[in-house]
Amino acid sequence: MRPKIHILYKFVEGPWGGGNQFLKILLCYFREARVYSESPEDADVILFNSYPFSSEYLFNLVFKLKWKSDKILIHRVDGPISYVRGTDKTIDKIIFLFNKLFADGTIFQSNWSREKNYQIGMRRPPYETIIRNAPDPNVFNSKHKKQPNEKKLKLIASSWSSNIGKGFDIYRFLDEHLDFNRYQMTFVGNSPIQFNNIKWIRPVPSLELADLLKEHDIYIIASKNDPCSNALLEALHSGLPAVARNDGGHPEIVGKAGELFEDESNVIEAIEKVAQDYKYYQAQLDLPNAYMVGKRYYQFTKNIYEEFSNGSYHPKKASFSNTMGFEVEFARLKAIYKLHAVIRGLKNRGK
């Protein structure tokens, strides 16, 4: 019994957010395993990603699919968005409502994300699990990783988002206080600040990023409330131990392959620890690859499908009442979201 799965998501080519990059990897795995349906109508299971920013029409497609058949919906939940962005509680409320009404199973990316979502109001779904992401093993791997120059270790950080919460307070601090006679540091991505000592490289495609990572020795990540950083996973899979902020899902991901820090007071100390015992930390790198992660995704969906097939579980259906209920609440929350955005814009303009 091999149910077919479809990822209901609008993919973006080129360098983009972590969720987009991971779902591309998952798509490749499902296709290679011959369990993917190119058409959502022909699939047994639909995988839906968090909140479909700029693609809200996908909500309506779920309603149509759920109205016509007993399709199982797996919801991959990120965030909470309000923790990651510092705003947008209304988006979390929409995610929670959609999950409650239509999701049969939920996949969280870290235990931190799972617990935070529940703390702020998400109801526990019928089936749930925690599965971390994994990058493309053909791109992000430790093959041909350059050995460090002990006289001057190379540090690297990266972020697609320029949100200040992505750790730019720490990167600014390092730009001003790191001993650049002993260290070299590069930042890859979009940044809201200018650097004087850190080398800044604009966003690059995955292959170029992988090459850059392998040219460096230690990965720095200082983001706050980050549930499961794909940037961190890409670096670890490329053979770099990490120095990570003790926040979000970082501690779960890094494990023993790096050191944690709280803020400016001990980030340099954490860097020094990894630098002084580099080979030990590098030897602790032990992460599930994309094949293993894809297999876990499929096994989770298959377990729910088997429960449905033997009559132990019946998938949630779209009805007139729950669909209209969602539409009304969605419209209300979106109006609040837009109002808050206007208010923030006016406040920023007045500064």
CA nearest to 173, candidates 60, 265, 261, 77: 265
Q: Give the side-chain half-sphere CA count within 13 A for 197.
A: 17
pTM of the model: 0.87
- Looking at residue 156, its pLDDT comes to 98
Residue with tokens 């109205």: 67
**Contact status, residue 163 vs residue 172, Cβ threshold 8 Å:** no
* Tokens matching residue 94: 């929409």
- In the chain, where are the structural domains located? 5-134+290-350, 153-283
- Looking at residue 330, its pLDDT comes to 86
- Looking at residue 162, its pLDDT comes to 80
Q: Which residues contact 333 (CB under 8 A, 6 or more apart)?
A: 90, 91, 93, 94
Find the radius of gyration of the CA atoms of the chain: 21
Name the strand (E) or helix (H) holding 285. none
**5-134+290-350 has CATH 3.40.50.2300 classification:** no
Matching CATH topology for 5-134+290-350 and 153-283?
Answer: yes
* Tokens matching residue 202: 């604009």
Query: What CA–CA distance (Å, rounded) separates 209 from 14?
Result: 12
Kindly give the parts of the chain with pLDDT less than 50: none
Question: Helix 320-350 and helix 57-68: axis angle, to 10°?
Answer: 170
- Looking at residue 253, its pLDDT comes to 96
| Structural domain 153-283, CATH architecture | 3-Layer(aba) Sandwich (3.40)
CA nearest to 222, candidates 134, 157, 136: 157
CA nearest to 281, candidates 311, 322, 243, 310: 243
- Looking at residue 19, its pLDDT comes to 76
* Tokens matching residue 295: 């297999």
What separation in angstroms does the CA of 171 have from each of 165, 179, 188, 222?
11, 13, 12, 8
- Looking at residue 15, its pLDDT comes to 58
